């Protein structure tokens, strides 16, 4: 079989996937997904021989699962060396760039307060700050909150209907708007994006991830500083924390499942969703009002 042109990073990726990953790794599709998502947008047409250790470090500072991306790059460049495409791997001297973000993370009460009050000093737009607060308040997904549009909201009746075109299960989903949520929403418009970024475009979910990373660390080129003092986290940790603390507050599993859009709900204004989010709001208010602002110097 004729080898692919590996003079560019795109060609090397194609050759690595077809000649190495597919035959040897049952989860090769995950390697391909990660390379397409994190590597190709930056390196697609760069000469393979031009990639340096500094380039790898810079790339890793911009991606979410940096350790996983590094492992795939190490494997790909080791393959390139074995095939004499490269003389040496630009990853050979690199260790994991940072401690892996904990899976299934649920924030403690103190961490919730550090994140909420830490947002005040972060270097991000006001819209980005509000997205993070709404992720915690509503328990919805990053893309659903960041992509919210005003025509989805009935502020008089206090309900937000996320259309099936924007939900993971492709079904319409209703979210009750408790008072805290209503208070922090931007000034209402008749139509358009709630969190705009350019003409009729919303803040991208990927940008939310990047904003968190850049405000959670101080040892990378593109970082602004560590404003939360809770370590690295991802948007879904806020959703997971909300659902966990709903359960601690006495909300039953059926109600939580409806809030998370994991179970069918009533067509109009499901009382279980309303009750669950009201209980969660009361819990969050108690957390935030507990003992004043947390000490971010710790």
What tens digit of pLDDT does each residue of 258-286 get? 999 999 888 789 999 999 999 999 999 99
DSSP code of 108?
Answer: -
pLDDT at 1 over 80: no
Q: Which of 16-30, 110-124, 167-181, 256-270 has the lowest mean pLDDT?
A: 16-30
- The pLDDT of residue 60: 84
Most confident among 16-30, 33-47, 100-114, 121-135 (mean pLDDT)? 121-135
- Residue scoring higher pLDDT (223 or 79): 79
Query: Which residue from 161, 151, 131, 164 is spatially nearest to 192, judged by alpha carbons?
Result: 151
- pLDDT bucket at 57, cuts 50 / 70 / 90: confident
Tokens of 30: 């995950």
- The pLDDT of residue 122: 95
Phi and psi based region of residue 200 (left: phi greater than 0; alpha: psi -120 to 50; beta: remaining)? left
Identify whether the C-beta of residue 144 lies closer than 8 Å to the C-beta of residue 235: no
pLDDT at 7 over 60: yes
Q: State phi, psi for 23 to the nearest 5 degrees.
A: -70, -25
- The pLDDT of residue 294: 62
Using CA of residue 279, residue 283, residue 289, residue 294, what is the dihedral sign? negative
Let me know if 87 is exposed, middle or buried by CB neighbors in 10 A (0-12, 13-18, 19+): exposed
DSSP code of 267?
Answer: S
Q: How far is the C-alpha of 172 from the C-alpha of 265, rounded, in Å? A: 10
Segment (H or E) for 47: none
Identify whether the C-beta of residue 136 lies closer than 8 Å to the C-beta of residue 116: yes
CATH superfamily of the 109-288 domain: Intergrase catalytic core (1.10.443.10)
E strands present in 113-212: 153-154, 159-162, 173-176
Q: Nearest 5 degrees, angle CA 54-CA 55-CA 57?
A: 65
- pLDDT bucket at 143, cuts 50 / 70 / 90: very high
Identify whether the C-beta of residue 97 lies closer than 8 Å to the C-beta of residue 70: yes
Most confident among 10-14, 90-94, 127-131 (mean pLDDT)? 127-131
pLDDT at 236 over 90: yes
Task: Look over the chain and give the mean of its residue pLDDT values, rounded to a whole number.
Answer: 89
């Amino acid at each position: 079989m004729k080898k692919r042109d590996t003079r560019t990073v795109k060609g090397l990726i194609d050759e690595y996937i077809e000649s190495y990953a597919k035959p040897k790794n049952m989860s090769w599709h995950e390697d391909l997904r990660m390379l397409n998502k994190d590597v190709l947008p930056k390196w697609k047409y760069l000469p393979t021989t031009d990639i340096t250790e500094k380039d790898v470090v810079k790339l890793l500072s911009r991606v979410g699962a940096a350790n996983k991306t590094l492992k795939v790059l190490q494997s790909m460049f080791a393959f390139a060396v074995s095939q004499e495409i490269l003389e040496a791997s630009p990853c050979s001297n690199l260790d994991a760039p940072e401690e892996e973000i904990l899976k299934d993370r649920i924030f403690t009460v103190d961490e919730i307060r550090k994140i909420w009050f830490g947002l005040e000093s972060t270097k991000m737009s006001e819209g980005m700050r509000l997205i993070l607060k709404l992720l915690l308040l509503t328990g919805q997904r990053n893309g659903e909150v960041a992509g919210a549009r005003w025509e989805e909201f009935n502020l008089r009746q206090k309900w937000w209907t996320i259309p099936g075109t924007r939900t993971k299960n492709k079904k319409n989903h209703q979210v009750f708007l408790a008072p805290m949520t209503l208070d922090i929403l931007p000034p209402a418009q008749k139509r358009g994006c709630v969190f705009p970024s350019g003409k009729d475009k919303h803040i991208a979910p990927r940008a939310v991830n990047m904003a968190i990373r850049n405000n959670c660390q101080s040892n990378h080129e593109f970082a602004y500083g560590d404003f939360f003092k809770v370590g690295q986290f991802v948007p879904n940790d806020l959703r997971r924390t909300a659902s966990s603390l709903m359960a601690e507050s006495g909300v039953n599993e059926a109600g939580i499942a409806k809030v998370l859009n994991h179970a069918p709900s009533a067509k109009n204004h499901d009382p279980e969703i309303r009750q669950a989010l009201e209980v969660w709001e009361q819990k969050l208010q108690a957390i935030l009002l507990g003992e004043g602002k947390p000490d971010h110097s710790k």
